[in-house]
Amino acid sequence: MSSHHLRKDNTCQNCGHSVEVRFCTNCGQENVETRQSFGHLVRHFVEDFTHYDGSFWRTIKYLFTRPALLTKEYLAGRRMAFLPPVRLYIFISFVAFFVPHLMPEPSIRGNGHGPAAEHHAPSVMDTIRPELQIRFPSALRSYEAYDSAQQRLPASERDGALERWTAHKQIDLVQYPSEQLAEKFLAAFGHNLPKALFLYLPLFAFVIWLWHGKKRWLYFDHGIFTLHYFSFILLGHMCVSILLRLFDYFITPLNTQAGVGMGSAIYGLFIAWVLYYFYRGHRKMYGETWGTSFLKSTVILAINIALFGVLLLGLSVFTIFTLH
C-alpha cells in the first residue's frame, strides 16, 4: 500500500465522488496529497519502476535461477507477484545499456594515441576506390575532385548512381582520423543496437513458433518466452561488463595477457550459461522429451544466430552510412 499521506478532504480530485477510505470507488484514484516531500518523490519513483514491495527482486531472482518459470507463471495467469514481461524488458534494456556507460572505459580499448596508433591504423582512404586513387590521387578528397576524376574516365568506366552515392558518403568520412571514426562508429552502433534488438525479438519468437504445435501454442506464448530470455541475456551481460571493469581497475588490466585470458574465460562462461539457459528453459517451457527438446533448441539457436549475424551486419552498414 502507498505510504503517501491521505488528504483530509474526502472528495476525489479526479472525478468528484466521495472517497470512503483511501481509493475512490468510482474511478480508483488514491486520495493522497498530491504535493509530497522529496523523499516521497524518490520512493514513488522507485516503486513505479521496481514494485518495491518485492515483486521486482522476486522477478530478478527467478529470471536468473529458474529458466521459463516466469513465462509459465505469466501464461497461467499468476501475474501479480512478478513484473510484466514487456515492462521488465524495457527496464532491463535501459539499465543494461546505460549503467556500463557510467563507468570509465576499460584499458583494453586503448587510448588511441602513440606511434602504434599513428602508423598502423588504417586510413579510411584505403577503402575507397583504390584504382581511382592510383590514377587520380586527390580524387576522393572532395566532391568536386571526385566528380572531376569521373569526367576524365571513359563513359564505360564511370561509377553508377549507387557507386557515386557511396563515394560521396565515404568522402564525408575522410574528414575524420581513423581512430576518431572508429570511436564514432562504436558510439553510434551502441546507440542503435537496443532498437535493433527490440525489433529482432518478434523474429526470434517466430522461429520458435515454427517448431511447435500451432494448436497448443500461440505466437503470444513464444513472445513472452522470448522477452524473458532476452531480459536474462541483457541483465547477465550487464553484470559481466561490470565484473570486467572491476577486474580491469582492481585486479589485472584487461590489455595484458593475463587480463585478456581472464576476460575471455568470463565471456566464455557467460556464453555457456546463455546457451544452457535456453536449452533448459525450452525444455521446461514446452515439456518435451530431452532428445526432442535438445534437437529443436539446437536448430532454433542455429537459425537465430545466423539471422542475428545478418542483423548485426546490416546494422553495421546502416551505422556507417548514417554517421555525421
The predicted structure's pLDDT at residue 123: 44
Which stretches of 53-134 are assigned E, i.e. beta strand?
A: none
pLDDT tens digits for the chain (324 residues)? 455 667 777 888 778 778 877 888 878 778 776 666 667 667 766 666 555 557 888 999 999 999 999 999 999 999 888 999 999 999 999 888 887 667 666 554 444 444 444 444 444 444 445 544 444 444 556 677 777 777 778 888 787 787 777 777 777 776 667 777 777 787 888 888 888 899 999 999 999 999 999 999 999 999 999 999 999 999 999 999 888 888 877 777 777 887 788 888 999 999 999 999 999 999 999 999 999 999 999 999 999 999 999 999 999 888 877 776
Provide the whole-model pTM. 0.71
Give per-residue burial for 120-136: e unless 16+ CB within 10 Å, then b.
Answer: eeeebbeebbeebbeeb
The predicted structure's pLDDT at residue 250: 79
Q: Tell me the sheet residues that pair with 6.
A: 32
**Scanning the structure block, which residue is given the C-alpha cell 561490470?**
242
Q: Provide the 8-state DSSP code for 105.
A: P
Q: Tell me the sheet residues that pair with 30.
A: 23
